[in-house]
């Protein structure tokens, strides 16, 4: 019934009240007219679910952008605030019968109004500090000692970084990643691995586990030096110039024609890379779980049984952009005796959303709390998520609840642990 309704709604003309003639110079926003204001997106929008405010819904934000592009509304702080409150989880796109490119429209709007929106000073300082650290491997290597000093002196709480610090995993020693890692036997495939900017600081065990697991499964892995941030934070914060620079860098570093796939470990990065401009590059992008599900495992590879319970969290980017949310659970079910359950009653977004949890902590914590309640009711040993930002956000929340014993990790980490044991 829902699909039939969606079909007829997509064919309906737009309500007369919304047929706005855009300025020819505003062609970046002409696709706002695709929205028929049917409201099928409303139940899927995290901010609308919390506020029940139409201005905090997808169709409400599109109406605001549409009116601004037509010169009917000014870019007031209130208008900019409503659009800035969006998490860009893109759940609305999955529900939209008219295929409105909501994410692209919001990114374009934020870029066009970047000089107008003034965020609170504390949010700007925190976002700039995090961005600077993620661009500098040297700063990341010093983050551990600095974090210790700030925590002991109480400055971590005073500076507003306590939640971020609590979400970081324990330091993980690793060998050099860059270069080529050959398969020990027959090479069944060859891939390139995208690290992103958080690998050294927040995802080192995942990167190491991925290389070990892939090579054991007969996959040669190359980790190109010179790769950098995917540009997601810059893109979603309206800095299109910095994003374009990062995009050119990564497209130039990876030789897409020389590998079967370019694998991403963080679904947030994968979602951004998947929508780069170069088709030869984007056509090779795959989430690592998606690749491993489709890869033929050698017959002599086995996983050690594990008597434990794991809850699988599906990041918005994995579900709504990469369309690969079924793959992590399929991989984890390869582990004998492991009880795999899904966080099916969780809301559409955990609230991390890049730097959203720094800019909008109240909404981010409210959304996370819904998920934490589900985790607490289920009493798992592990929580698996395929995005490093979600992992940090959930890990911090569990620690604050006194549930730090629940390990939050990437599905690949647990697979590699059981493979190594076997």
**Span 253-307, pLDDT tens digits:** 999 999 999 999 999 999 999 999 988 899 999 999 999 999 999 988 899 999 9
User: Which residues are within 8 A (CB) of 367 and not within 5 positions of it... i.e. 6 or more apart?
Assistant: 46, 50, 87, 347, 349, 350, 351
pLDDT at 393 over 90: yes
> What are 402-416's pLDDT values in tens digits?
999 999 999 999 999
Unique residue bearing structure tokens 């994410």: 103
Mean pLDDT lowest for which of 11-15, 64-68, 152-156, 243-247? 11-15
Domains and CATH numbers, the chain: 2-112 (1.10.1060.10), 308-421 (3.40.50)
Q: Coil, strand or helix: which one is 292?
A: helix
Cβ contact 98:34 at 8 Å: yes
pLDDT at 119 over 90: no
The residue length of the chain stands at: 422
pLDDT at 158 over 70: no
Residue 20 confidence (pLDDT): 41
Cβ contact 360:332 at 8 Å: no
Cβ contact 57:48 at 8 Å: yes
Q: Which two tokens stand for residue 167?
A: 């979400």
Band (123; pLDDT cuts 50, 70, 90): low
Residue 150 confidence (pLDDT): 46
Report the alpha-carbon distance of residue 181 to residue 190 in Å, rounded: 10
The DSSP H or E segment spanning 334 is none
Q: Coil, strand or helix: which one is 84?
A: helix
Q: Which two tokens stand for residue 194?
A: 């995208």
Q: Which residue has the higher pLDDT, 1 or 329?
A: 329
Report the alpha-carbon distance of residue 327 to residue 305 in Å, rounded: 20
Band (137; pLDDT cuts 50, 70, 90): low
Rg of the Cα trace of the chain?
A: 22
Unique residue bearing structure tokens 């050698």: 298
Report the alpha-carbon distance of residue 422 to residue 415 in Å, rounded: 11
Residue 165 confidence (pLDDT): 76
Band (174; pLDDT cuts 50, 70, 90): confident
Residue 181 phi/psi, 5° resolution?
-115, 105
User: Average pLDDT for residues 170-180, to the nearest whole number?
Assistant: 86
Instruction: Name the H helices within 159-203.
Output: 162-167, 199-202
pLDDT at 145 over 60: no
pLDDT at 230 over 70: yes
pLDDT at 179 over 70: yes
Please count the other Cβ atoms lying within 10 Å of the Cβ belonging to residue 245.
Answer: 14
Report the alpha-carbon distance of residue 212 to residue 135 in Å, rounded: 26
Residue 106 confidence (pLDDT): 96
Q: Which residue has the higher pLDDT, 385 or 348?
A: 385
> What are 183-216's pLDDT values in tens digits?
998 899 999 999 988 888 889 999 999 999 999 9
């Amino acid at each position: 019934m829902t699909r039939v309704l969606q079909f007829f709604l997509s064919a309906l003309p737009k309500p007369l009240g919304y047929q706005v003639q855009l300025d020819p110079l505003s062609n970046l926003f002409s696709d706002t007219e695709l929205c028929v204001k049917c409201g099928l997106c409303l139940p899927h929008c995290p901010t609308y679910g919390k506020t029940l405010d139409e201005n905090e819904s997808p169709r409400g934000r599109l109406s605001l952008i549409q009116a601004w592009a037509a010169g009917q509304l000014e870019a007031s702080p209130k208008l900019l605030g409503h659009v800035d409150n969006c998490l860009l989880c893109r759940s609305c796109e999955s529900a939209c019968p008219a295929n409105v490119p909501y994410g692209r429209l919001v990114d374009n709007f934020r870029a066009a109004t970047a000089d107008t929106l003034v965020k609170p000073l504390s949010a700007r300082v925190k976002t700039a500090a995090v961005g600077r650290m993620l661009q500098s491997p040297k700063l990341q290597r010093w983050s551990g000692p600095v974090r210790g000093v700030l925590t002991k002196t109480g400055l971590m709480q005073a500076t507003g970084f306590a939640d971020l610090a609590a979400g970081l995993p324990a330091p993980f020693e690793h060998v050099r990643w860059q270069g080529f890692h050959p398969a020990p036997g027959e090479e069944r495939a060859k891939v390139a691995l995208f690290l992103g900017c958080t690998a050294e600081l927040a995802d080192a065990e995942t990167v190491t586990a991925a290389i070990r697991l892939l090579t054991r499964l007969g996959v040669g892995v190359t980790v190109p030096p010179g790769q950098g941030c995917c540009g997601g934070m810059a893109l979603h914060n309206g800095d299109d110039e910095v994003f374009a620079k990062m995009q050119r860098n990564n497209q130039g570093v990876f030789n897409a024609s020389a590998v079967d796939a370019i694998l991403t470990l963080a679904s947030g990065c994968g979602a951004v890379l998947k929508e780069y401009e170069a088709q030869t590059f984007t056509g090779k992008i795959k989430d690592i779980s998606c690749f491993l599900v489709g890869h033929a495992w050698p017959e002599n590879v086995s996983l050690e049984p594990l008597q434990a319970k794991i809850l699988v969290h599906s990041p918005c980017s994995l579900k709504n952009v990469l369309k690969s949310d079924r793959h992590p659970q399929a991989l984890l079910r390869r582990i004998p005796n492991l009880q795999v359950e899904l966080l099916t009653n969780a809301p559409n977004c955990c609230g991390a959303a890049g730097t959203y949890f720094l800019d909008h902590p109240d909404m981010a914590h409210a959304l996370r709390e819904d998920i934490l309640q589900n985790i607490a009711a289920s009493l798992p040993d592990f929580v698996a998520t395929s995005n490093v930002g979600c992992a940090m956000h959930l890990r911090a929340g569990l620690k604050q609840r006194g549930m730090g014993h629940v390990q939050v990790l990437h599905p690949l980490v647990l697979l590699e642990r059981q493979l190594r044991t076997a």
